[in-house]
């Protein structure tokens, strides 16, 4: 029984940290470093798998906390319903936003392909970088005397280079990713136009 148990464990670890599993974990298909991985020993493959898992878990943790805080700030400014800014009486954290963000990411993540989720995450992040880069140019021209803790050098060249590089990466994504991205943008705009715009603190001041 002991020998059978050890053999089963060995098979499990071989499947978990096999080259095929590592390839799928890194790229979802054929990893660029596939030839290099063929030369690695099982312990190196195991270390690579643990590193990839640790990196993804830490990234998810940071982004999940960040999403909850963004919703909390938007709710505080009346751009979102007030329950998004509810604070736990004991732990003093936005617990409802955290739970909602967890379900909103966890359920689709268990249903849809990781490659599709990765593409959507990439195009959204790149689009945010494009907006930030263009925003630097606009604010530097419209509010030149605004107090800044850090000033981007060589404006507008650095922001334009950033915009071009991020836009180029976006153009390399699949058409279906662009369709989903546009649908997501339209949904966000509808929420803003029919809810947030009329209830925000900025609308009240105006």
The pLDDT tens digits for 146-176 are: 888 888 888 899 999 999 999 999 999 999 9
Range of the domain at 153: 116-206
Predicted confidence band at 2 (pLDDT cuts at 50, 70, 90)? very low
CB-count burial class (<10 Å; 0-12, 13-18, 19+) for 205: exposed
CA distance 203 to 58: 38
Does residue 198 fall inside a structural domain? yes
Q: Would residue 17 count as lying in a domain? A: no
The tally of domains found in the chain comes to: 1
What pLDDT, in 10s, does the model give residues 87-129? 999 988 888 998 998 888 888 878 888 788 778 888 988 999 9
Please indicate, yes or no, if residue 57 is contained in any of the structural domains: no
C-alpha to C-alpha distance for 93 and 60, rounded to whole angstroms = 18
Return d(Cα 41, Cα 67) in angstroms, integer: 39
In a domain, 94, yes or no: no
Of residues 130, 138, 119, the one with CA closest to residue 184: 119
- Whether residue 40 is contained in a domain is answered as no
Tracing tokens 């990765």 back to the chain, one arrives at 118
Task: Please list, residue by residue across 78-103, b when 16 or more beta carbons sit within 10 angstroms of its beta carbon and e when fewer do.
Answer: bbbeeebbeeeeeeeebebbbebbee
pTM of this structure: 0.63
Q: At a CB cut-off of 8 Å and minimum separation 6, what does 140 contact?
A: 152, 155, 156
How do residues 55-97 score in pLDDT, each as one tens digit? Answer: 878 877 787 888 888 888 888 888 888 888 889 999 888 889 9
């Amino acid at each position: 029984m002991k020998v059978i148990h050890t053999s089963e464990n060995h098979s499990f670890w071989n499947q978990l940290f096999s080259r095929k599993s590592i390839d799928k974990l890194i790229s979802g298909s054929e990893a660029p470093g596939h030839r290099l991985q063929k030369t690695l020993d099982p312990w190196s493959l195991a270390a690579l798998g643990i590193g990839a898992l640790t990196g993804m878990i830490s990234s998810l943790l940071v982004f999940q906390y960040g999403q909850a805080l963004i919703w909390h700030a938007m709710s505080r400014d009346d751009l979102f319903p007030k329950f998004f800014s509810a604070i736990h009486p004991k732990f003093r954290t936005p617990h409802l936003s955290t739970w909602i963000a967890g379900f909103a990411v966890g359920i689709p993540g268990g249903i849809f392909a990781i490659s599709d989720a990765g593409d959507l995450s990439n195009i959204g992040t790149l689009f945010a970088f494009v907006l930030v880069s263009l925003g630097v140019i606009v604010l530097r021209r419209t509010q030149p005397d605004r107090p800044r803790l850090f000033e981007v050098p060589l404006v507008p060249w650095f922001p334009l280079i950033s915009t071009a590089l991020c836009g180029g990466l976006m153009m390399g994504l699949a058409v279906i990713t662009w369709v989903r991205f546009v649908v997501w943008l339209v949904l966000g705009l509808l929420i803003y136009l029919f809810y947030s715009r009329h209830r925000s603190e900025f609308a009240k001041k105006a």
